[in-house]
A and B are shown apart, each in its own frame.
Chain A
Amino acid sequence: AQSVTQPDIHITVSEGASLELRCNYSYGATPYLFWYVQSPGQGLQLLLKYFSGDTLVQGIKGFEAEFKRSQSSFNLRKPSVHWSDAAEYFCAVGAGADSWGKLQFGAGTQVVVTP
């Protein structure tokens, strides 16, 4: 069965510092991978996605992620965080018979940005 693990429930980072959020997946075939961000009481906004090709994916808001098949990981990074990056971040893998039917979400990582 497909699964997604986000090992860090909560991360605190100083404004201007770099950020890395971890995501590990378990999936038999080539996964379709996503990172979403959620602000309190809001829906999810897509940061970036990976289907194939270049394993380093650029997203919105200065985020990037790198797909590493050998490590079954899809970690999200940002070189310099802004206070507005404080939110909940979810990694997801496309599951289902057609490879991107329903999404399986990780538990999420809460990011707190300090001055």
Chain B
Amino acid sequence: GAVVSQHPSRVICKSGTSVKIECRSLDFQATTMFWYRQFPKQSLMLMATSNEGSKATYEQGVEKDKFLINHASLTLSTLTVTSAHPEDSSFYICSARDLGTYGYTFGSGTRLTVV
């Protein structure tokens, strides 16, 4: 079945630095990927929709200059958290839309801790 690989699974960074999270579709082409943020014991909050070859569409309230999204190929989308602060600590999950199976496949998530 469709597999989405998300890397890294855990990252600790210092406040003020930037962190890049990768999301790859391994066996299908994903023209559209989605980035979510999840706080402990809460649901997933959509941050942005990433379309291959074009600018990402951000949800209301999400700072596009802070959360940079790049979708340069049909199998890779990246989320860069710039100038990270402790309040950016969270669980980030990507998802890719698989037109073949007509479904959405999720990555295993990235636990970001900013110290």
Contacts and interface: CB of A to CB of B under 8 A. Distances in A.
Contacts of B104: 34, 46, 103
A20 to B, nearest CB: 20
Interface in B74-115: 91, 93, 95, 97, 102-109, 111
Contacts of A103: 34, 46, 95, 104
B25 interface: no
Interface centre among A43, A44, A107 (most CB of B within 10 A): A43
A46 B103 CA distance: 9
Contacts of A100: 97, 102
A106 B43 contact: yes
Interface in B34-91: 34, 41-44, 46, 49, 91
B43 A107 contact: yes
Interface string A15-50: 000000000000000000010100001111110010
Interface centre among B4, B104, B111 (most CB of A within 10 A): B104
Contacts of B42: 107-108
B49 A102 contact: yes
B6 A43 contact: yes
Given A102-B34, A107-B43, A43 B102 contact: no
A105 B107 contact: no
| Interface SS, A side | strand
Interface centre among A44, A45, A103, A110 (most CB of B within 10 A): A44
Contacts of B41: 110
A51 B102 CA distance: 9
Interface in A43-85: 43-46, 49, 51
A41 B6 CA distance: 13
Interface of B: 4, 6, 32, 34, 41-44, 46, 49, 91, 93, 95, 97, 102-109, 111
Interface of A: 34, 36, 41-46, 49, 51, 90, 100-103, 105-108, 110
Closest 5 A-B residue pairs measured CB to CB? A44-B106, A43-B108, A43-B106, A43-B109, A105-B43
17 contacts: A34-B103, A43-B4, A43-B107, A43-B108, A44-B93, A44-B95, A44-B106, A45-B106, A46-B103, A46-B106, A49-B103, A51-B102, A100-B97, A102-B34, A105-B44, A106-B43, A107-B42
